[in-house]
Structure 1
Amino acid sequence: MKFLRSVFFFLLALCSVSAFAQSSSELKKRRDKLNEELEQLNNEYQETLSNKKSTLKQLNILKAKISLREEKIKTLNSEVRLLGNQINENTNTVHTLQGQLDQLKKEYAAMIVFAYHNQSAYNKLMFIFASQDFNQAYKRLTYLQQFANYRQRQAESIQGTQHELNTKITQLDKTKTQQSNLLKDQEKEKQNLGKERTSQQEVMNGLSKHQGELKQQQKRINQQIADNNRQIRRAIAREIEEARRKAEAEARAEAARAAAAARANAVAGKETAPVKAAPKAAATNSQLLNATPEFAKLSNDFMGNRGRLPWPVANGVVTQDFGITYIEGIKTDNPGIDIRTGQGATVRSVFGGEVTSVNNISGTYLVVIRHGEYFTAYANLRSVSVSKGQKVEVKTTLGTVATDGSTGETQVHFELYKGQTPVNPRSWLASQ
């Protein structure tokens, strides 16, 4: 029973260590990724400081840095909590091993005392020869052998427990050091976050002094968003109308076949059921866009990958989120997200589908892809490498990102629609 209990606790501890190692590795990987993105933003921000005026680019970079810094602090909190749990577990293990070691030493000391009183070979022989019969003598001899073996095992157990205890103490000290370093890093990040929020306010104040310039920049951004939306909605509307046309044509063809069959039966003098009226086309856009088995499966597959879709660029930071935002009272309603990336970065499809449109909007390209009843749109492309009607797979190259000549910003605009309704892409993309 004791053996089974020991095995159970050993396996439990092993699973706990494995889970800790996995979670710790994932958190460290995420922290390294955040550090890399923050370093990239720091370099970009330093470049903008040569401009005497506060610009939207500076503000966007600071907003992105603050967002990443907050996420890094959350990651550090998770790591600290994880290490705290590990420290508690290791502390409990150390106390348990220390208790076991003390008990083993106590038992071993008792055996040493017993062995001391019976250390001479004469006493052992007398113990055996004093037996009443051969069977008892054999049992006493076996007992002495077992006692000697037990002493050996106890000595080995003491050594093994002592070694395990030393290992756990070393591991505990190492974990405490790691936790201490993370706490220092966390405090440093909080200080950096405070400085960046102060810088953000300074940039906001600077922007307020150049309200006219700011309004012009924001007006241009809003106009570009409106142009993109108009083209995207046209592309989606065309797909819905085409699906409706096909559904109606198929309904008419089915009605014609039924009428022809009825006439043939009448000529042959056979009774036939009355011809049914042509069925109505699908009532909803969702039904129209999922009218074929191929598109229905594509919709289900796309929906099944929610939260796991790859990003439209390999590396990037969100600078403008989905929804309504205000900058110095200027409203922007973003139906997607803006992702800052490196110059000349490749834009790729987030899922398999068919290219429904490729448009040139004020010198940059917009690509719309259909995934059943879902659509994804990729705007601000300098060049494109796909054409309308082309089938694409996940991560198919669509083109390269354009860089704004006036602001120096390189970012792709990404939107996601279910039918004609825009949805927040954040919840569909995989965690970076």
Structure 2
Amino acid sequence: MKNKSFFIVFFTLFMLSVSAFSQTKKQLEEQRLKYKSEIQKLNSLISSEKKKEKNALDDLSDINLKIDMRNQLITTIKAEAKILSIEIKAKEKKLKRLNNNLKDLKEDYASMIFKSYKSKSQQSRTMFLLSSQNFYQAYKRLEYMKQYRSFRKKQGEEIEVQASIVKSFKDSLVSQKKVKETLLVTENNQKKEIELDKKKQEELITIIKRKESKYRKDLQNSIKQEKIIADKIDKLIREAIAKANKEVKNQPVSASKDEFILSPEAKALAAKFELNKAKLPWPVKESIITRKFGVQPHPTIGGITINSTGLHFATRENSYAESIFDGIVLGIQLTAEGRKNVLIQHGNYISTYKNLETSLVKKGDKVNTGERIGKIFTNKVTGKTTLIFVLFKNTTRLNPSEWILKL
């Protein structure tokens, strides 16, 4: 019975330790599935583009993004496989000890059964009792015989428990080995895909080098236009702050011209917005982030730095931008190309949805979380559908990736 308790306690402690260790493994598994999903989304978005003419810069950017995602996936797979290897090795050692314990138990039990068989006749038992010198000795011998039978039964149960533990470990080990084999197959497949992507990458780099001066000039013009639009949005926000604050009576002495003076209702909305940091929904469903926030080297042309004012989301044609939180439409900006940028105010926070083909809201409208703002523009030449999402606190740009939900 003591041995039985020991095995149960040991097994429980072992499983708890594995559970604690598996938290990291679980995180890696979630990360692996995330990268796999993003690669599938990117492949789907790229293959669905109906390009009328090739743009080597766009294509190279897509290939670079895929290679980067595949490398991250491989790194995650390797880390996950390493943890599995450690677990498998530990379980193999434990299984060996368990099998040895089970073998010892069976041998002891077999020996006891054999001895019992040799002296199990009714006559032997009767003579054992009748040969007692007194009644008390006969009683003790009877009790001993009962305890012996009970011990045999318990030992048999102990063997069953031990056998069950061994089977559980074997099944778990087989399962983990299969998972590891699958991971290694996935890793090899991703490496093959990277090799194919790198061949395409080299071809595109060759094309770009032939016309590098043209691509560089077009890119610089594009960056210049982005800055003009960003400056106009900054101006729109400053004007909106000045107009809103002008209407406020008894302005605080410390009030800044670059900050909204908030009503109690607006303060409550801003506080609620802040409480949802890192939990806000994405501004467009079924999408991937193709450009991050902040100053960064251009992904395809060397020597050019871009300042990304927000996040770029690649999505499907006919997709709609959605409000990330309750608010009021602060303004709608019309670009020179006829596209729309919608600004929504959430207290002293402002979310901006750029590159819309149509707008479903107008200035002053109240909007709810998840409400459609407008249809995202699809470039008929490249086939790309991209939403540019920018986030402000008053006039200060924020990193949207720190505010939206980590998928």
> What TM-score comes out, normalization by structure 2 length?
0.85
- 1:316 is displaced (CA, Å) by 1.6
Count of aligned pairs: 402
Determine if contact 2:378/2:384 at 8 Å carries over to the other structure. Answer: yes
* Correspondence for 2:283 among 289, 302, 312: 312
* Correspondence for 2:255 among 278, 282, 291: 282
- 1:48 is displaced (CA, Å) by 7.7
Q: Distance in 1 between matches of 2:236 and 2:13?
A: 57
Instruction: Please say which structure displays the higher CA radius of gyration.
Output: 1
Alignment of 1:43-62 (within 5 A): 45=46, 55-62=56-63
| Aligned-partner SS, 1:56 | helix
Determine if contact 1:54/1:203 at 8 Å carries over to the other structure. Answer: no
* Correspondence for 2:385 among 388, 410, 423: 410
Specify the code of the residue in structure 1 equivalent to 2:109: Y
Aligned to 2:269: 298
- 1:402 is displaced (CA, Å) by 0.8
Determine if contact 1:349/1:395 at 8 Å carries over to the other structure. Answer: yes
- 1:223 is displaced (CA, Å) by 4.0
Aligned to 1:275: none
Root mean square deviation of aligned Cα = 3.2
Call closer, same or farther: CA 1:197–1:301 in 2, change over 3 Å: farther
| Aligned-partner SS, 1:400 | strand
Aligned to 2:250: 250
Call closer, same or farther: CA 1:39–1:297 in 2, change over 3 Å: same
- 1:179 is displaced (CA, Å) by 0.6
* Correspondence for 1:324 among 267, 283, 296: 296
Q: Distance in 2 between matches of 1:386 and 1:17?
A: 53
Q: Distance in 2 between matches of 1:227 and 1:211?
A: 24
Q: Distance in 2 between matches of 1:135 and 1:246?
A: 106
| Aligned-partner SS, 2:250 | helix
Q: Distance in 2 between matches of 1:38 and 1:417?
A: 30
Q: Does 1:351 align with 2:325?
A: yes
Q: Does 1:366 align with 2:341?
A: yes
- 1:10 is displaced (CA, Å) by 4.3
Encode CA deviations 1:234-264: one digit per residue, 9 max, x unaligned.
23213432453245x224xxxxxxxxxxxxx
Call closer, same or farther: CA 1:47–1:357 in 2, change over 3 Å: closer
**Contiguous gaps of at least 5 residues in structure 2:** none
Determine if contact 2:41/2:287 at 8 Å carries over to the other structure. Answer: no
Specify the code of the residue in structure 1 equivalent to 2:398: V
Call closer, same or farther: CA 1:293–1:229 in 2, change over 3 Å: same
Specify the code of the residue in structure 2 equivalent to 1:353: G
Call closer, same or farther: CA 1:5–1:166 in 2, change over 3 Å: closer
Call closer, same or farther: CA 1:232–1:34 in 2, change over 3 Å: same
Encode CA deviations 1:404-423: one digit per residue, 9 max, x unaligned.
12222111111122332223
Call closer, same or farther: CA 1:54–1:281 in 2, change over 3 Å: closer
Q: Does 1:394 align with 2:369?
A: yes
| Aligned-partner SS, 1:162 | helix
Q: Distance in 1 between matches of 2:371 and 2:45?
A: 28
- 1:13 is displaced (CA, Å) by 4.4
Call closer, same or farther: CA 1:294–1:13 in 2, change over 3 Å: farther
Q: Which has the higher contact order (CA 8 A, sep 6+)?
A: 2
| Aligned-partner SS, 1:172 | helix
Give me the identity figure in percent: 28
| Range moving further from structure 2, 36-45 or 372-381 | 36-45
- 1:375 is displaced (CA, Å) by 2.0
Q: Distance in 1 between matches of 2:66 and 2:303?
A: 22
* Correspondence for 1:337 among 295, 299, 311: 311
Aligned to 2:204: 203
Encode CA deviations 1:99-152: one digit per residue, 9 max, x unaligned.
331332243134224314422222222222233433432332222122112212
Determine if contact 1:204/1:328 at 8 Å carries over to the other structure. Answer: no
- 1:425 is displaced (CA, Å) by 1.9
> What TM-score comes out, normalization by structure 1 length?
0.81
Determine if contact 2:329/2:366 at 8 Å carries over to the other structure. Answer: yes
Specify the code of the residue in structure 2 equivalent to 1:70: N
Alignment of 1:129-148 (within 5 A): 129-148=130-149
Aligned to 1:103: 104
Call closer, same or farther: CA 1:3–1:392 in 2, change over 3 Å: farther
